[in-house]
Amino acid sequence: MKPGLILQHGPTSPPGLFGEWAQSRDVPVEVCRTFADGALDNGGTPDVGGRAFVCCLGSKHSPLDRDVPVVAETLALVAQAVERDLPVLGLCYGGQVLADVLGGVVEPALEAELGWYTVESDDPNLVPAGPWLEWHYQRFTLPPGARELARSAAGVQAFTSGPHLGTQFHPESTIEIVKQWANSDRERLELLGVTDAEARLEAGRELADTARAHAFQLFDGFWERAQRAERRDQ
């Protein structure tokens, strides 16, 4: 079985529940730690050939930070995967990268989504309504020709385009992971007047098991799409 490629863009943004899902489903994956292995354009660019899929995780950067080498190279790698019809799973920043590559627009969100949210889903079998953890200050528009699967008042929350799936929320993350982001974002949160970040996260403690089950459901759906795409190519 071909391995999937996971792009991890920071020490506090691990594969999390996606890694647990892959292990439970015996799906082989390789993790490229772009922040530790060197900028992708500095000799660390992995080959997308021979992969089952590419999963692009969250990042402190934005796809708009094109002057940051690792961002430019991530965009190029995802574009290469899309050109080859290699399934891409984009999660939050990864969803923004995927949307950007497909012709969507990444822009500041009118209001940051920080904490637990439910979404309006057109396909609850693939994208349950939630609860989902969110932690983002930007949003993306629906790429041309893509199918919007879910939305919130802030904008598009999930879409598919061919074998690709992008989300604005973080199905892979846990409360413990996002608490680290809240801690590193203290100054930014203060400027936004957000003083209850940790309380927002803890408010969903009883939702964690449901969120995990929904995440596995979403990952299963993506994996089925990836396998169909591979069978078509054989």
Q: What is the pLDDT of residue 40?
A: 55
pTM of the complete model:
0.95
pLDDT of residue 133: 98
Alpha-carbon distance of 15 to 184, in angstroms, equals 19
Q: Tell me the pLDDT band of 47, cut-offs 50, 70 and 90.
A: confident
- pLDDT (average), residues 155-165: 97
Q: pLDDT-derived band of residue 35, with 50, 70 and 90 as boundaries?
A: confident
The pLDDT of residue 185: 97
Residues of the chain with pLDDT > 90, as a percent, come to: 88
Q: Measuring CA to CA, which residue among 136, 59, 52, 66 is closest to residue 100?
A: 66
pLDDT digits (tens, 9 = 90+) for 61-115: 999 999 998 999 999 999 999 999 999 999 999 999 999 999 999 999 999 999 9
Instruction: Provide the token pair at 85.
Output: 């019809």
pLDDT 10s digits, 176-218? 999 999 999 999 999 999 999 999 999 999 999 999 999 999 9
What phi, psi does 3 have (nearest 5°)?
A: -80, 150
CATH superfamily of 4-233: Class I glutamine amidotransferase (GATase) domain (3.40.50.880)
For residue range 123-141, what is the model confidence (pLDDT) as tens digits? 999 999 999 999 999 999 9
User: Residue 47: which residues within 8 A CB-CB, separation 6 or more?
Assistant: none
